[in-house]
Amino acid sequence: MTMSLIYQSASKEPREMRLSRVLQSAARYSSPFVRFVLATPLHRIMSSRLMILRFTGRKTGRSYTTPVSYVLDGNSLLVPAGGAWRRNLEAGPRASVRLRGAWRTVTAEVVREPALADLLLGMIQKNPAIGVFTGIRLTSDGRLDASALERERRRGFVVVRLSLDNDPRQARTAAA
């Protein structure tokens, strides 16, 4: 059950919130460099936890790319999403990712409650950097900090599940 995974915290932990915002700003400014590295043979440095997401803008019709962190979950990729880019995937779920050096087509699904907390817990356990960047940490007993999770929910935080299509050759045309 979701509630058993969440720890009720009385403190607001403003230091963590500031750290998370600083890291998010740093990630935004380093995005061009990260995109460059992930598009070259040097991708191995970062591609075990980062990938490039390419999608079509819902209003402009333009193609956009953004580096995102991910956790592999079977034939899906779980991506923490607090930015506005996720709305494009709600409007048009077809996209592509550059995953470990190869383009793959994906179908996106935005995950909210009741599955959000369970998925996020697994994501942070597999990739602790997600907890640092989102500002949602695990408590000493391994549960999500409830106040941090609720704060990020109010800000629009969701998880995007990207289901990998079977044929990697299809990616060249998706969201191009």
| 144-145/6-7 β-pairing | parallel
Structure confidence at residue 176 (pLDDT): 46
Residue 109 phi/psi, 5-degree rounding, is: -140, 125
Extract the tokens encoding 54. Answer: 């390419």
139 or 42: whose pLDDT is higher? 139
Mean pLDDT score of the chain: 79
27-51: average pLDDT: 71
19 pLDDT higher than 80: no
Give me the CATH number covering residue 148.
2.30.110.10
Structure confidence at residue 117 (pLDDT): 92
Structure confidence at residue 156 (pLDDT): 85
28 pLDDT higher than 90: no
Structure confidence at residue 144 (pLDDT): 93
Residue 18: give the domain boundaries.
2-172
* CB neighbours of residue 4 within 10 Å: 8
Structure confidence at residue 25 (pLDDT): 64
27 pLDDT higher than 70: no
Residue closest to 37 by CA, chosen among 23, 26, 47: 47
Burial-class residue 59 by CB neighbours within 10 Å (0-12, 13-18, 19+).
Answer: exposed
21 pLDDT higher than 90: no
Give 13's pLDDT tier (boundaries 50, 70, 90). Answer: very low
The per-residue pLDDT for range 52-102, each reduced to its tens digit, is 899 999 999 999 988 889 999 999 999 998 778 888 998 889 999 999 889
12 pLDDT higher than 50: no
What is the total count of domains within the chain? Answer: 1
